[in-house]
Amino acid sequence: MASTFFRALHDRVQRARALGAREVARRLRDRVLRHVWWSEQHVWYVADTHAVRGTVPDGFRLRRVVDRRSLPGDVSSVGLRVATAVAWLAVGGELWVLENLASSELAFACWIFRERAPALAARGGWFRVPPACAVLEDSFTAVSYRGRGLAPAAWRCICADLAASGVRALLTKVEVANTPSRRACEKAGFREVAAMRFRRRLFLRKVHLTGSGKPVASLRQALAAESG
C-alpha cells in the first residue's frame, strides 16, 4: 500500500516538473471550471491517412503502446499521469511515443482512439468515433525537444499505420488560440474542416459546430449522441 502511494506521488511530482508550475496551475483551475462554468473554442482538422506519408526522424523510434505492460516508465516527462494512461489504455486508447534512441528519453507522445474518444463537448465526456475514422488527442512534446518538428513527423507516420488498417481519416481538434499547434497540424497534412464552440453553465450545455462535408456531419452526429 505504501509503495503504491509513493509511486503515485512520485508520478505527480515528475509530471508537475515536466509541465511547469504555470501549466499545472492552469490545468487545476480548468479542471474545476469545466464542471460548472466553462466555454471553449476549437478548430477541427482532418487528415486523409492515405495521402499523408512520413518517416521517423533520425535518432528516434516511434512505437505504439497498447497495454500497461509496455507503458514507458517516464511518461510524466511528456505530461502524462500513469493512472490516466492506464485508464485510457483500458478503454482501447493507443499511446504512441517517440523515443530518443541514444538516451531512451521520451520526446513526444500522443493518443489515438479508434472506437470511442474523449471530448468535453460530447455527452458523457466520450463520443463514438465515426466509421473508418480515428481521433488524435493530447499530443505533447517534452520541453527539451520542442521546435524540432517531431509532432508533425510522428503524426504522418501514424497516419500510414492507420491507413494500413483501414482508417481513412484522422480527426483532431485544436484550441483556436493555439497557433503553434494549428501550424503543426497544417504542416503534417491536416486541413481545417470545422469550428466548434462549447459552453457549459452548471447543468446546461451547448455545442455549436460549423462546417460542411461528410466528416463534419459524422462528427456533429457523434458529439450529439450518447457516448454508449
Per residue in 164-223, pLDDT (tens digit) is 999 999 999 999 999 999 999 999 999 999 999 988 776 677 888 898 888 888 988 898
Query: Which long-range contacts does 67-71 make (Cβ < 8 Å, 24+ apart)?
Result: 71/95
Segment 80-103 mean pLDDT: 93
CATH number (3.40.50.300, 3.40.630.30, 3.40.50.1000, 3.40.50.620) of 2-224 reads 3.40.630.30
Q: What is the pLDDT of residues 143-154, one digit of tens each?
A: 999 999 999 999
Q: What is the DSSP letter of 145?
A: G
At 201, phi and psi to the nearest 5?
A: -130, 95
Average pLDDT, rounded, for the chain: 87
Sheet (strand 191-201) strand order: 60-65, 94-100, 106-113, 133-141, 169-175, 37-48, 191-201, 204-211
Domain boundaries, the chain: 2-224
Question: At residue 1, does pLDDT exceed 50?
Answer: no
Element (H, E) at 10: helix 2-19
Segment 15-21 mean pLDDT: 68
pTM tops 0.85: no
Q: Residue 44 and residue 190: Cα distance in Å, rounded?
A: 9
- 26 touches 101 (CB < 8 A): no
